[in-house]
Structure 1
Amino acid sequence: MKLTLLRVALTALIVGTLAACSTPPAPAPARPGGTPAPLPPSAVVLPGDTGPLPPPMAQPKSRWIPVRWAELPGFTEDALHEAWNAWIKSCERPQPPFTALCSEVRQLSIATADEQRAWLIARLQPYRVEATDGNPDGLLTAYYEPMMDAARQPGNGFTVPIYRVPASLGARKPWYTRQQIDTLPEAQAALAGRAIAWLRDPIESMVLHIQGSGRLRITEPDGSVSLVRVAYAGTNDQPYQSVGRWLLDQGLTRDATWPGIRAWVAANPQRTNELLWSNPRYVFFREEPLNPLDAGFGPRGAQGVPLTPGRSIAVDRQSIPYGTPVWLASSGPQVQLNRLVLAQDTGSAILGAVRADYFTGWGPEAGDIAGRLKQNLRLWALWPR
C-alpha cells in the first residue's frame, strides 16, 4: 500500500515534468561564425527542479554550492538501481539527516529509474563540493579487496605473516615500525602466536596492508581450503608513506602504479625490504567468515556497512559526512564515471575537499583498475531539502 501511494506521488511528479518538457527552451546565443554557445549547466533546469536554490553550506574542509540537477553530468543516464543497493546498506546505519528518508529509499528499491530520478529531484538538493578557496577539482583513486592464497602454518613458500592486533599495542604508542617488526626480537616476541595466516609474497602483503582488507583462500592443516575475509583491525600508529612515492623520489621508476612497482621489484629483488621499510605503517587484521550473503559485498567501511562495488567511495569525513549520497564525475585514461555513489568509508590518504577513493570490488580485474586509477574528480553532495 505504501509503495502504491509512493508510486502515485511519483507518477504525478513525472507527468508534471513531462508537461514542462513540452515547452522548448530558448535558443542559445550564437558564437561568431554561427556556432551556438552551449548553455552553462546552471542555466539548464530539469523538470521538477524549479524552486529557488537554498544558500551555500559550509563543512569543516569544504564549501557546498547549491546547483540545479542539470549540472550533474550523466544524471539522466545512470543505472540508479545499482546505487540503490549501496543506499539500502547505508540505511542499516543511517546518519542524520538521512534517517527519515530510509523508509522511502527501501520502498523505491523496486521502482523504475524514472521514479527514482523523480524522487531524487523532489527530496534532495545537489550541492557542488568545492575547496574553501572555490576550487571544484580534485583527485579520484580506487581501492579493492585483493584475493590471495594463504596457509594457516608457515612453510612450502608461505613465509609472510598476517597478524592480529598484538596485546601490547595500546601500551606503546606509536608501536614498532614495519622494519622493527621484521627485525627486532622484542617486536617479534610480541607477535608470537598472533598470525592469522601466511602469504607467499611480501608485495602481496603490502597490497593487503594498503587496501585494508582482503579475501584469503586458506589451506588448513587438514588440507581443506577455507575462504575468509581479513578486515582492518588497527595499525602501529606510524605515519603512512607511499612506496610508489619513495620509488619516484629515488628516481628508480617513472611508473608508480602497482604493476610498475611489481616490475621494479622483479628487477631488483635484493631491494625488496628497502622498498617495504620505506613505509613504517603496519596494519593488523581480524578474521571474518565469508558466507554467501557477505560474498556479494565488500568489507565494512568506516560507516559500519558493507561496501558495494562501483557504488561506494571513501571520503574525507570533514568534507562529506558518512552516509551522504554523492554524484561523482571523473574522466581519464582508465575509466569515465558519471554516477550516484555513497560516502561509506575513509582512509588515511583520503584527505581534502574534493577527494574520493572508489571501491572497485575484488579479484584481479578490480585490482588492475584500482592499481592504475588516478584522475580528475568533481563531486556533488545530495542533501535532504
Structure 2
Amino acid sequence: MTWRRFLAAGLVAGALAACTASKPPADKLVLTRAAFGDLPGWSRDDPSAALPALLKSCAVLLKGPDDQAVGIAGQVGDWRAPCADAAQVAPGDHAAARALFERDFVPFRAADNDQTEGLFTGYYEAELRGSLTRGDRFTVPLYRRPTDLVSVDLGQFRPSLKGERIAGKVANGKLVPYATRAEIEAGALAGRGLELAWVDDAVDAFFLAVQGSGRVILPDGTALRVGYDGENGQPYVTIGRVLAGQGVPADQITMPFLRRWIADHGPDGVALMDKNPSYIFFRELKGDGPMGAQGVALTPGRSAAVDRGFVPLGLPLWIDTSDPVDPSGRLQRLFVAQDVGGAIRGPVRADLFFGYGPDAANHAGLMKGKGSSWLLLPTGAAARQGPRT
C-alpha cells in the first residue's frame, strides 16, 4: 500500500471537506514538546506490540549514512541507539518497551497551524473472489502496471514540490495524461496482456483500489496477494465528496454506506464510481504483506499511513481518537508511520491499518474519528526542536 492507493479515508474525508465553506490556510506542521504523561491513555497501551513494526522501519532507516536527513526526525545517526535498544527488548516485554520509548524518544504534539484536532480513518487488506483466467462470473480485470506508464517525483525537479508526484505517458516527446478510470474500464488497456487476475465484482475491484492491497481467493481456495504498483496519474475524486455535494449528510458517509449506495442505485452507482478518474495497477505480492510505502510489511493495528510531506516514514506516533468499535469509544495507541495515501493530507492526519478479515474490514470501514496525534522523535532530533513550550 504505497503512495498508490487512495484510502477509504479519502472517501469520507472528502465528504467532510465538501461541507467546509471557507478556504483553510496552507497546511503547516507545528510541534509542541510534551511529556509521555501528556499522552492520553499512554499508561494503558502495550508499547511492546509496536516494536515489531518499529524494527522493520529501523532496518530501512539504518541503511543510510549517519548524516542522511530524515526530515523532522533528525538524521540517520539519531536512530542508531533507539533502534539498537529496540532490538534488545524481548517480545512481549511491556515494561522494557515502555522504558525504551520513554528513554529514547520525546513526544511532540502535532498541530496544523493552530489546529491540534485532525481526522483519523482506517484501512484493511481486502478480500475478493477471482481467477487467473477470464470466464464464468470472473469478468472484471485487475491490471498490471503498463510498460508505458511513467511516474515522476516532482521533488527531484523543484524542491518546493517535494512529496508531489504525477504520472502519464510519453507521446511525441512530451508527458501527457494517461487514460482515465472510465476509459480503462471501457477497454483502453484490453488486449495488451496486462490482466493479473479477473474478479467477480466491479465494486469489490473499486474498493480494492481504495485499500491498495488484498487477497484474491482463487477457485481452488488458494490466495493471490496483490498490491499497488502505480497509478494512472489522474486526479483522485472522492466519491464521498460527490455524494455530500448532492445533499447526503457527511456524517453518514462511511465505506459500508458507500457500498450500499452503489449497490442500491444500479447505473447511478456505476456512474458514481466513474466520477473518480484515478485508477491503480497491481502486482503479485510474495511473502509477508501487504507492503507499505516504506517497503516493509504492515503490522495490523500498529502501522499507519501519513502525509510524508510532514511525517517521516518510520516515525512512531501516538494517536488519540474516537473508535466506533472499541467498547471504551476511544482508540489510544502507539503506531508507526509506514505508509502513505493520496487522500492522507495534512500534519494531523492518519489512516490506521487494521489487517485482514471481516473484523478488520468492519473496523476500517466504520473508522472516522476526530482526534490528536503526538510524534515521537529520537532524543537527538528532539534536542534540535528546542525546549518545551
What is the TM-score of this pair, normalised by structure 2? 0.76
| Aligned position for 2:385 | none
Distance 2:126 2:45 in 1: 27
Q: Is the 8 A contact 2:302 2:353 kept in 1?
A: yes
Q: Could you list the per-position Cα deviations for residues 59-91 of structure 1 after superposition, in whole angstroms to 9, with x for gaps in the alignment?
A: x83021111211001111111221112112212
Q: Could you list the per-position Cα deviations for residues 80-109 of structure 1 after superposition, in whole angstroms to 9, with x for gaps in the alignment?
A: 221112112212212623233212101113
| Aligned position for 1:346 | 340
Pair 1:313-2:304 in alignment: yes
Q: Could you list the per-position Cα deviations for residues 185-237 of structure 1 after superposition, in whole angstroms to 9, with x for gaps in the alignment?
A: 5x234x62110111111110010011111111123xxxx44312111000010
Deviation at 1:119, TM superposition (A): 2.3
| Aligned position for 1:275 | 272
Distance 1:88 1:61 in 2: 29
Deviation at 1:354, TM superposition (A): 0.3
Partner of 2:218, secondary structure, is strand
Q: Is the 8 A contact 1:332 1:376 kept in 2?
A: no
Deviation at 1:174, TM superposition (A): 2.0
Higher relative contact order (CA 8 A, sep 6+): 2
| Aligned position for 1:76 | 43
* Alignment length (residue pairs): 312
- Residue 212 of structure 1 aligns with an amino acid whose one-letter code is G
Partner of 2:99, secondary structure, is helix
- Residue 181 of structure 2 aligns with an amino acid whose one-letter code is R
| Aligned position for 1:118 | 99
Q: 1:111 to 1:82 in 2, by over 3 A?
A: closer
**Any residues of structure 2 matched to 1:51-90 within 5 Å, and which?**
61-90=28-57
| Aligned position for 1:360 | 354
- Residue 332 of structure 2 aligns with an amino acid whose one-letter code is N
Distance 1:227 1:333 in 2: 30
Deviation at 1:111, TM superposition (A): 6.5
Distance 2:227 2:323 in 1: 31
Q: 1:349 to 1:377 in 2, by over 3 A?
A: same
Deviation at 1:331, TM superposition (A): 1.8
Q: Which of 136, 145, 153 in structure 1 is aligned with 2:133?
A: 153
- Residue 122 of structure 1 aligns with an amino acid whose one-letter code is R
Distance 2:91 2:325 in 1: 32
Distance 1:320 1:182 in 2: 35
- Residue 175 of structure 1 aligns with an amino acid whose one-letter code is Y
| Aligned position for 2:199 | 199
- Residue 336 of structure 2 aligns with an amino acid whose one-letter code is L
- Residue 76 of structure 1 aligns with an amino acid whose one-letter code is S
| Aligned position for 2:178 | 175
Gaps of 5+ in 2: 1-26, 63-75, 151-168, 171-175, 380-389
Partner of 1:348, secondary structure, is coil
Distance 1:265 1:343 in 2: 32
Partner of 1:305, secondary structure, is coil
Distance 1:110 1:145 in 2: 25
Please list every run of at least 4 consecutive aligned residues from structure 1 whose deviation after the TM superposition is greater than 4 angstroms: none
| Aligned position for 2:80 | 99
Q: Is the 8 A contact 1:309 1:359 kept in 2?
A: yes
| Aligned position for 1:47 | none
Q: Is the 8 A contact 1:158 1:199 kept in 2?
A: yes
Q: Could you list the per-position Cα deviations for residues 102-135 of structure 1 after superposition, in whole angstroms to 9, with x for gaps in the alignment?
A: 121011133732222222222211111111x221
Distance 2:185 2:96 in 1: 56
For the aligned residue pairs, the C-alpha RMSD in angstroms reads 1.9
Between 1:139-148 and 1:173-182, the stretch displaced more is: 173-182
Larger Rg belongs to:
1
Percent of pairs with identical residues: 39
Between 1:162-171 and 1:301-310, the stretch displaced more is: 162-171
Q: Is the 8 A contact 1:75 1:338 kept in 2?
A: yes
| Aligned position for 2:233 | 237
Distance 1:108 1:258 in 2: 38
Distance 2:249 2:371 in 1: 26
| Aligned position for 2:142 | 162
Q: 1:117 to 1:166 in 2, by over 3 A?
A: same
Distance 2:212 2:266 in 1: 25
Distance 1:158 1:247 in 2: 29
What is the TM-score of this pair, normalised by structure 1? 0.77
Distance 1:111 1:181 in 2: 48
Partner of 2:262, secondary structure, is helix
- Residue 189 of structure 2 aligns with an amino acid whose one-letter code is Q
Q: Is the 8 A contact 2:86 2:100 kept in 1?
A: no
Distance 2:238 2:203 in 1: 13
- Residue 274 of structure 2 aligns with an amino acid whose one-letter code is W
Q: Is the 8 A contact 1:92 1:305 kept in 2?
A: no
Gaps of 5+ in 1: 1-59
Deviation at 1:334, TM superposition (A): 4.0
Partner of 2:60, secondary structure, is coil
Q: Is the 8 A contact 1:146 1:364 kept in 2?
A: no
Partner of 1:108, secondary structure, is coil
